[in-house]
A and B are shown apart, each in its own frame.
Chain A
Amino acid sequence: MPAPSPSPHDAPSLSERPGDDLITESAGELRFDAVTADVTADEARGELQVRKLGIGFWIAVTWLVVLFALAILAPWLPFVQDPNRIDALALRQPAAWSIGGSWNGSLSSTFHLFGADDLGRDIFSRVIWGARVSLFIGVVTVALGFLIGGTIGLTAGYFRGRFEKIFMSAMDIMLAFPALILALAIVTFLSEPGSQDASLGTITLTLTILSIPALSRITRASTLTFSQREFVQAARTLGARNGRIIVREILPNVIPPMVSFSLIAIAIVIVAEGGLSFLGLSVSAPTATWGNMINEGRTALEIAPHIALIPCAVMFLTLLAFNYAGDQLRRRFDVQEARL
């Protein structure tokens, strides 16, 4: 009789901080609540699996593609202005579609699609430039985090034994630190001595370090699922060396769910960065970041709410898009495995 498989469990909601433990171990038997939990063949046969990614997925992807395009091409796009340019005539001008806003001028520097902020800077452009920061930090952090954390998790999950104990304990220790304090400490440590400002690189590095434990655990969980499957044992029986097994058997199975999870991870990092910059701890003003903008818009919330709310809305939609797309992809990959 086949041994009972780990029971599937949908991933918990992703507004939790990175590093929440998604795995429980009890009495020598492993149960996964991880994103890539295996589904028993019976359930696969019984469940009504939706194969298509759905229209929602494509809407989310479109939003992200447009945002990335705008962010990458920002310096060259004619309708994206200098984010720090002050239009003295447009202080706190509301968005073009609200009362007090105006549609005239389209490409001229007096046109503010999303209005202008306290200092007369064009919010639309600042949002786009803020997107550059957020997306850069998000993507690079997750990429580096998976590279390092993923390698750690993969090796720990495959080789187990002492290596796993040492590295996972190290990860646990890191996770035990309150994230915010750890972030502060790392930023301070990495910044130029005496300087109050954190650079883009510093923030990225900080968030990468913070994300490594969580990503390593997730990769380890996924690796464990597959290492225990019989095709890995079969590869050993055939005489494959460990390296070959990892590359040809484990990685092709671990990478797809990790890719789908990385979208969700990017969203988490963007939130983290947004939080940090809201507190003034990220890339500092006057650089436009979403967190900065929201923070600066706080004071004018009653009079000119759009200053804070528009970057809020854009951030919200972006995070939603990442989460939704990541979730749909994750489900699709689970389905493919479930059909086995």
Chain B
Amino acid sequence: MARKKVVLTSPSAAGDKIDGPLLEVEDIRTHFLTPSGTVRAVDGVTFTLDRGKTLGVVGESGSGKTILSRSVMGLLPTRNVLRRGAIRYQGHSISDYSQQQMRSIWGTEMGMIFQDPMTSLNPVMKIGKQITESLRYHLDMDKGEARETAIALLTSVGIPEPGQRIDEYPHQLSGGMRQRVMIAVSLACGPRLLFADEPTTALDVTVQAQILDLLQAQQVERHMAIILVTHDLGVVAGRTDDIAVMYAGKVVEKAPTAVLFSEMRMPYTEALLNSIPKLEDPSHTRLQIIGGRPPDLINPPTGCNFSPRCPYAQPKCFVDEPPLRDAESPGHQFACWYPVGTPEGRQALEDNVAAVFPAALLATETGLDQPVGA
């Protein structure tokens, strides 16, 4: 299939083997200029992603995870936005690409799935057209070929009777179906990188599992990389290779999935995990709560962003911002002066409890002052 208007694909990369990571993001910062001040939505995020791998980006609302994916894709508003940092896709720098140049990448190289299937499909366009639209634009297919490809795509995402569905409108489908259609739309031109922004949050649990299975199957089949943005630690636990935990616009911990859960270092990660009710726990288990509220992104506190709520916080944390540094396991980085599971960390927690520091008391109320998973 000839590719139209593609900038990045060099002949050798038409196959599978590409040297180097698929995506490299270095120190991305996205600031929104508002009348109240500059909102530092993403404030220095760095990561790399290899082909065929899944990166989970975890955070609560306000952590900047959605803005991050839009920043990398270049889907930010054009006014009152400052974006800095380097983004390299297959070795080419795309951070300075114009909208037009990015358009040649969207769809063909990068796809995106959004959270709410009700609003992300065009309600007045038949779903077949929404798929063939990009096929015809990017891949120069004719009508017949595009329609056949669309039907094949709908089959591959598990939509029954695709020949019929292809002529239906989004409102005639259920939420799960619409999400599948959206996946089909985003995969139509065979992107190498897929952003899934809370793809299942609006869906029922059983449908959620189906959709996630589907994504995983597609990933294996297409050798595609996925960035899975979610607030659900359960979702990332089973389906990602690496996880980046975000808080207040920064990545506070990054590790291969198994390592993150077994050797977490950042108190926020620990608190987040402990605050989720788990099926194995007996009923009426007391949950750990993170006191306070997320920081103001216009005037973030000095030092570590999490320090006002951190059970382990010491005076240094309020003054110096901890840099991301390597942990023992390869690929594991965290930003903390008194990490969980280390002697300094334990000491810090004890000191805080003794000093009747509220955040520390909240953490130890549950008796969970030991590293999780240990």
A adjacent to B, CB under 8 Å:
yes
List residues of A whose CB falls within 8 A of some B CB: 1, 4, 48-51
**How many Å lie between the Cα of A4 and that of B202 in the bound state?**
11
Select A4's contact among B34, B35, B118, beta carbons within 8 Å: B118
Residues of B within 8 A of A1 (CB): 202
B118 touches A48 (CB 8 A): no
> A1: nearest residue on chain B (CB-CB)?
B202
**How many Å lie between the Cα of A50 and that of B35 in the bound state?**
7
B202 touches A48 (CB 8 A): no
Minimum Cβ distance to chain B for residue A284 (Å): 51
Interface membership of B302, Cβ < 8 A? no
**How many Å lie between the Cα of A4 and that of B80 in the bound state?**
28
Among A1, A49, A51, max chain B CB count under 10 A is at A1
**How many Å lie between the Cα of A48 and that of B34 in the bound state?**
6
List residues of B whose CB falls within 8 A of some A CB: 34-35, 80, 118-119, 202
**How many Å lie between the Cα of A51 and that of B34 in the bound state?**
12
> A52: nearest residue on chain B (CB-CB)?
B35
| 7 additional contacts (CB under 8 A) given A4-B118, A4-B119 | A1-B202, A48-B34, A48-B35, A48-B80, A49-B35, A50-B35, A51-B35
> A42: nearest residue on chain B (CB-CB)?
B61
Among B35, B119, B202, max chain A CB count under 10 A is at B35
**How many Å lie between the Cα of A51 and that of B80 in the bound state?**
18
Residues of A within 8 A of B34 (CB): 48
9 pairs of residues in contact across A and B, judged by CB atoms under 8 Å: A1-B202, A4-B118, A4-B119, A48-B34, A48-B35, A48-B80, A49-B35, A50-B35, A51-B35
Minimum Cβ distance to chain B for residue A46 (Å): 9
Q: In the A-B complex, list the 3 residue pairs whose CB atoms are closest, starting with the nearest.
A: A48-B34, A48-B35, A1-B202
Residues of A within 8 A of B118 (CB): 4
Minimum Cβ distance to chain A for residue B82 (Å): 14
Residues of A within 8 A of B80 (CB): 48
**How many Å lie between the Cα of A322 and that of B205 in the bound state?**
53
**How many Å lie between the Cα of A49 and that of B39 in the bound state?**
14
Residues of B within 8 A of A49 (CB): 35
**How many Å lie between the Cα of A1 and that of B202 in the bound state?**
7
Residues of B within 8 A of A50 (CB): 35
Minimum Cβ distance to chain A for residue B174 (Å): 14
Minimum Cβ distance to chain B for residue A30 (Å): 16
> B118: nearest residue on chain A (CB-CB)?
A4
**How many Å lie between the Cα of A51 and that of B202 in the bound state?**
32
Minimum Cβ distance to chain A for residue B233 (Å): 19
**How many Å lie between the Cα of A1 and that of B35 in the bound state?**
31
**How many Å lie between the Cα of A48 and that of B32 in the bound state?**
10
Residues of A within 8 A of B119 (CB): 4
**How many Å lie between the Cα of A113 and that of B347 in the bound state?**
85
Among A48, A50, A51, max chain B CB count under 10 A is at A48
**How many Å lie between the Cα of A4 and that of B119 in the bound state?**
10
**How many Å lie between the Cα of A51 and that of B118 in the bound state?**
31
> B204: nearest residue on chain A (CB-CB)?
A1
**How many Å lie between the Cα of A168 and that of B345 in the bound state?**
68
> B79: nearest residue on chain A (CB-CB)?
A48
**How many Å lie between the Cα of A101 and that of B229 in the bound state?**
73
Minimum Cβ distance to chain B for residue A7 (Å): 9
**How many Å lie between the Cα of A230 and that of B341 in the bound state?**
45
Minimum Cβ distance to chain A for residue B295 (Å): 15
**How many Å lie between the Cα of A5 and that of B112 in the bound state?**
24
**How many Å lie between the Cα of A48 and that of B80 in the bound state?**
10
**How many Å lie between the Cα of A4 and that of B171 in the bound state?**
14
> A47: nearest residue on chain B (CB-CB)?
B34
Minimum Cβ distance to chain A for residue B197 (Å): 13
Residues of B within 8 A of A51 (CB): 35
Residues of A within 8 A of B35 (CB): 48-51
Minimum Cβ distance to chain B for residue A131 (Å): 37
Minimum Cβ distance to chain A for residue B319 (Å): 30
**How many Å lie between the Cα of A50 and that of B34 in the bound state?**
9
**How many Å lie between the Cα of A78 and that of B80 in the bound state?**
54
Minimum Cβ distance to chain B for residue A19 (Å): 28
Minimum Cβ distance to chain A for residue B298 (Å): 12
> A49: nearest residue on chain B (CB-CB)?
B35
Residues of B within 8 A of A48 (CB): 34-35, 80
**How many Å lie between the Cα of A247 and that of B46 in the bound state?**
55
**How many Å lie between the Cα of A48 and that of B35 in the bound state?**
7
**How many Å lie between the Cα of A141 and that of B63 in the bound state?**
52
Residues of A within 8 A of B202 (CB): 1
